[in-house]
A and B are shown apart, each in its own frame.
Chain A
Amino acid sequence: MLTLENIDMGYGDTKILWDVSLNVKKGEIVALIGSNGAGKTTLMYTVSGLYAPWKGRIRWEGNDITKTRAHERIHYGLALVPQGRRLFPSMTVEQNLHMGALHRKFKQQDLAKELNHVYDLFPRLQEREKQLAGKLSGGEQQMLAIGRALMANPKMLLIDEMSLGLAPVLVDNIIISLKEIAKEGITVFLVEQDVEIALEISQRAYVLEHGKIALEGSSAWLYDHPQVKEAYLGM
């Protein structure tokens, strides 16, 4: 579904990503793990089109989308849940959700239906419907960021550092919701610093080290891999 072929990327003179190739198949939950500064967010921004790669190609359902601009990729069904959530703090929860669907054309009742669908997944958001997004707690903001991306009716969610700054209880709740989302047929590609969480949710994972793919395989296999255990799980 999503394929990265030999991606090089960096800023100025500094190369961040070195010949990164990976693929995500339809219906999978795939994680990209790695420590701080490994290039995870850079990779996510490249996939979502906010940055253009120096070299290499990005394929989406067989089409080359390397040169497709960020705001157009959402039309293909590729929706980003960015690191730091990047909500619109001056708007209410409901308005933020509507923003996810702003680029689409549809009937009013369909919008209401999709809104209710998001509220079913995250009942907390319905309680806070009329509140400003800037006044939400961290966990609620993360739910809103995922809900907003879902309003774009995506085929794939790109989730960047979901667990950052959240209490473990909240992370557990969001993991349950994510699994539900995946059951509905939405493919999930997530980038995560918390390796334990990442390997728990995902079926397959890639390990990014210093901008290069160091390991790849099933999450269960990676969980027991000595290299992963030592470097990321502290065992």
Chain B
Amino acid sequence: MKNTKFILPALLLVAALVPLLTGNQLRLATELMTYVVLALSWNLIGGFTGYATFGNVAFFGIGAYTAAMFATKGLPLVSGVLAGSVLAGLFAVLVGLPVLRLKGHYFSIATLGVAEAIRSLVPNLNFLGGPNGLTVNTTFPDEGWYLVTLILAIGAVILVTYVRRGKIGFALRSIRDDETGAQSMGINVTYYKVLAFTLSAVLAGVVGGVYSGFLAFIDAPTVFQGEVTVTMLVMALLGGTDTIFGPVIGAIVLKIIMEYLWTNFQNLHGLFLGVVIILIVLFIPKGILPSISALWRNLKKNAGLPKRGVGHA
């Protein structure tokens, strides 16, 4: 895509807006950046590779819990975040090797099962705080959390761009298009699938670790919530899964819609959100970004042609 060079300055512009944001807005912006990373992470495996995971929240939660554990032991949160992302990546290799043999719905259900199992297991483990969760004491200001998540979002965009445009990206696309064809063309499909799953997990793990510091308190129902997976998945689909920036745009649009509905229709916001998702799927099934690109191409094509009706006055 040619618009890469506009997106990074745009993100930097967003960073410059920090002093203008206040309290609640700043926290919303931090959550938005967190979801930008999660949507990009989901797209690596669910979009590029075509393996729709319903369990990516597991990696987010592992990142969050590892970081929080480090913090409660008095270790710096940074080390916890790093450890959390490594652990999430290792877990992805371990789970991915058997589970990525499954295809289509079977893969989705298996990943859902893994995530739900962890969510049920964690509150029963006393060393992880049991049902009470974990508290992270930090004095980091809200502006700081926002900038950290913004930097992570930029980093995620760079990583995804690198993956997409290189050899890995083509290998992943070939797997999505036709896995048998990819195999017969010499693509080690197991390697590339596990690689995509692991990269996805590492991204979700990093942002999970940061999120635990931002929230200052985590428990299993919060960071292993199935809704988190659904949200990142819808964001990626909304923006366009066959693109680099689709998930970023999807995250921004969906977050704005969600916040608007939440503040205006507190009781019915879930209903309206459902309707919005159905409308999106019906009218822009390929996602926002590919639809805009198609529209733009059509406009350009038509601009080069003589206007209709000329000479027929």
Contact = CB atoms under 8 A, between A and B. Distances in A.
Interface string B155-187: 000000000000100110110111011111111
Given A87-B178, A88-B177, A48 B242 contact: no
Interface in A91-142: 91, 95, 98-100, 102-104
List of 8 A-B pairs having minimum Cβ-Cβ separation, nearest first: A86-B181, A103-B186, A74-B186, A88-B177, A80-B184, A86-B178, A71-B188, A70-B183
Interface residues of A, number: 28
B185 A148 contact: yes
Interface of A: 48, 50, 69-72, 74-75, 79-80, 82, 85-91, 95, 98-100, 102-104, 148-149, 152
24 contacts: A48-B184, A50-B180, A50-B184, A70-B183, A70-B184, A74-B184, A74-B186, A80-B184, A86-B178, A86-B181, A87-B178, A89-B177, A89-B178, A90-B242, A91-B174, A99-B170, A99-B174, A99-B187, A102-B171, A102-B174, A103-B185, A104-B186, A149-B185, A152-B185
Interface string B172-206: 01101110111111111100000000000000000
Given A89-B177, A90-B177, A71 B170 contact: no
A71 B183 contact: yes
Contact of B185 (A85, A89, A90, A102): A102
Contacts of B180: 50, 82, 86
A152 B184 CA distance: 10
Contact of A91 (B173, B184, B187, B188): B173
A102 B177 CA distance: 16
A91 B183 CA distance: 16
Nearest to B242: A90
Contacts of A98: 170
Contacts of A79: 184
A102 B186 contact: yes
Contacts of B188: 69, 71
Contacts of A89: 177-178
Contacts of B170: 91, 95, 98-99, 102
